[in-house]
Structure 1
Amino acid sequence: MNDSSFELPLPHPFDFQQCLNYMSRSLFECLYTTDTEGVNRLIRVGNDKRLVRLTCPQGREMQVQLLQGDSLTPEEQEELIHYIKDWFDLNRDLEPFIQMSEGDPLLGPLLERFWGLRIVGIPDLFEALCWAIAGQQVNLTFAYKLKQRLTEQYGDTAEWEGVTYKMFPSPEQLANSSIEQLCSLQFTRSKAMAILDVASLMTNGELSRDRLLTLTDSEAVDKELTKIRGIGPWTAQYVRMRCLGDQTAFPVGDVGLQNAVKQMLGLNQKPTPLELHALFKHWQGWESYITFYLWRTLY
């Protein structure tokens, strides 16, 4: 152990390989690199950027290693730990979810198949909103390409061992951009306007993850998000799930979720939102986890 590395205790169950499998699902991912043992990512810590490698060599603890730069101050280490815990949902007690799945004909096999998988989050609200906006009504591959173009155009980078690591831009880095500039990256005008609106709101301090987390009512969060131009119910639910750690988030309008349920239950057609609500009523409080696991069956 030295100043450039530390260990983070892990909850049970946690399977890092399951998380890595999820994170390596696209060759177009630009914000981190995965291999068989871990993930490297450029992360904003305080006012600086830090290149970090995460591994779980023993399975019981996560090894956090700084690949370059000065050692962290205690405050910076706490900030990084907070980010990693949000990224891999390490503060969540999954025991009630496990108990709920016992004997359940759908949840049981699902939990067995993805045992130890945590919701891999997007702790940065701006990144989460832009990713959700980019993914509206396009296939996943094109959404990744849009994210890649936005990151390459506006985000910070760091070099290490011949690899260029990229960090998603901050709202401030897009504050002076224009609709035309985003459209040149193949965003539609409506998506460009939505992203610039979010960047403006966050730069001005009118929108923040911390503020959304103070809203205990999920409907209040939905209302806060959907009043932003270009953000509808699906985007709000997605952000609640991936960024705000809301395990009741339930994007019933998601085509992937509908297809996964159709496949799992052998239905002739995709379930309607009403049918999904009826199916999930037995699993209240864990909608986001079940949705995340069902999405995994599609890959």
Structure 2
Amino acid sequence: MRKKTAELTLTLPADFNREAFLDFHRRDTEAVAEKVDAGALEKAFIWQQVPTLLTVEFDQPGHARVTLHCDDKPPSASASLDAFAGHLLGLDQPTQAFEAQAGRHSLVGAMVRSQAGLRVPQSASPFEALSWAIIGQQISVVAAVSIRRRFIQRLGRRHSNGLYCYPDASDVASTNVEALKACGFSRSKAECLLTVARRCLDEALLPEIHMAQPDLETLRKSLLAIRGLGPWSVHYALLRGYAWMDGSLHGDVAVRRAIQQLLGNATAPSTSEAERWLAEFRPWRSLMAAHLWKSLSVNA
């Protein structure tokens, strides 16, 4: 069937950091699902149940050209593409309000000012964000990227351009624990991901950002009630999936290391100490975490 295409051009804020956005999608050097080349991103994913290639090009100063190449039906409305693309690029994030507050802080002000305009690149779907959080629990980023790659290659549908689409909830729900273990998941992580995928299909647990804006506090509580999901996984998923700016990532090793560096201490703070430290930056705790990651050049 002939490929269908939807396209739009977005005007970018003056402080938009193109390289920070592209770096997030460079995590897998083998580029099985995402390819970054010459200042442009290609990413394969499932859009409205159709294998789709997203292209984001920065060939015009101050603008991003966003294109969807769908292998079947095109997106139902350009308005949904506009909201999705702006969300993906982080254009709806309150960076200026955060910087106005944190930029005056005696300890983190210089760091925040030096990283002005930092946004949190978003996953293509909330399910992708949560599944990545599950993969990354208590292992290094390098190990997590390797498992993610095998997961995509084993379960992902292939777009006509050759890239693998990141699996959606239906792809995962149709597999089993043993298949996920073959990708590198522990049994507990595999069972957790299967539970999430099935609930996504049965209960619309993780509504797509371009379809509906959920009550994030209710969603947070629902996710925390699932065995295998703790505060770090849930808050990280809500940050990457819904641009929730006030999740507390006090359990994140890199966040704690960055706080240690700022304080000049010999050891990293405990999770409870990091939680208290981050509390000062409400309602933008997760945006502060992103600045802490950036200060260590960590692509979490």
Question: Normalising by structure 1, what TM-score?
Answer: 0.87
Q: What is the one-letter code of the residue matched to 1:214?
A: P
1:164-186 Cα distance to aligned partner (Å, 9 max, x none): 21111121122231211211222
| Corresponding position of 1:14 | 16
Partners of 2:125 and 2:208 within 8 A in 1: no
| Corresponding position of 2:61 | 59
Q: CA RMSD in A?
A: 2.5
Q: Give 1:12 deviation, angstroms.
A: 4.7
Q: Give 1:238 deviation, angstroms.
A: 0.9
**Matches of 2:70 and 2:279, distance apart in 1:** 48
| Corresponding position of 1:214 | 214
Q: Give 1:83 deviation, angstroms.
A: 2.2
| Corresponding position of 2:110 | 109
| Corresponding position of 1:144 | 145
Secondary structure at the counterpart of residue 116 of structure 1: coil
**Cα distance change, pair 79–44 in 1 and its aligned pair in 2 (3 A):** farther
1:111-149 Cα distance to aligned partner (Å, 9 max, x none): 233232210112412211211111111111111111111
Q: 1:182 aligns with which of 173, 180, 183?
A: 180
**Cα distance change, pair 215–52 in 1 and its aligned pair in 2 (3 A):** closer
| Corresponding position of 1:237 | 235
**Cα distance change, pair 66–183 in 1 and its aligned pair in 2 (3 A):** closer
Q: Give 1:86 deviation, angstroms.
A: 2.0
Partners of 2:46 and 2:167 within 8 A in 1: no
Q: What is the one-letter code of the residue matched to 2:159?
A: A
Q: What is the one-letter code of the residue matched to 2:280?
A: H
Q: Give 1:26 deviation, angstroms.
A: 4.5
Partners of 2:232 and 2:249 within 8 A in 1: yes
Q: What is the one-letter code of the residue matched to 1:80?
A: L
**Cα distance change, pair 196–67 in 1 and its aligned pair in 2 (3 A):** closer
Q: Give 1:290 deviation, angstroms.
A: 0.8
Secondary structure at the counterpart of residue 251 of structure 2: coil
Instruction: Extract unaligned runs of 5+ from structure 2.
Output: none
**Matches of 2:67 and 2:182, distance apart in 1:** 38
**Matches of 1:62 and 1:92, distance apart in 2:** 17
**Matches of 2:114 and 2:27, distance apart in 1:** 17
1:198-242 Cα distance to aligned partner (Å, 9 max, x none): 1111121351235994325x3x33321011121111111111211
Partners of 2:56 and 2:67 within 8 A in 1: yes
| Corresponding position of 1:274 | 272
| Corresponding position of 2:52 | 50
Secondary structure at the counterpart of residue 53 of structure 2: strand
Query: Would you say how many aligned residue pairs link Structure 1 and Structure 2?
Result: 291
Q: What is the one-letter code of the residue matched to 1:155?
A: G
**Matches of 1:68 and 1:189, distance apart in 2:** 34
Instruction: Extract unaligned runs of 5+ from structure 1.
Output: none
Q: What is the one-letter code of the residue matched to 1:31?
A: A
Secondary structure at the counterpart of residue 83 of structure 2: helix
**Cα distance change, pair 4–113 in 1 and its aligned pair in 2 (3 A):** same
**Matches of 1:178 and 1:33, distance apart in 2:** 29
Q: What is the one-letter code of the residue matched to 1:49?
A: P
Q: Give 1:91 deviation, angstroms.
A: 1.4
Identical-residue share of aligned pairs (%): 24
**Matches of 2:68 and 2:204, distance apart in 1:** 33
- 1:260 maps to 2:258: yes
- 1:99 maps to 2:109: no
| Corresponding position of 1:131 | 132
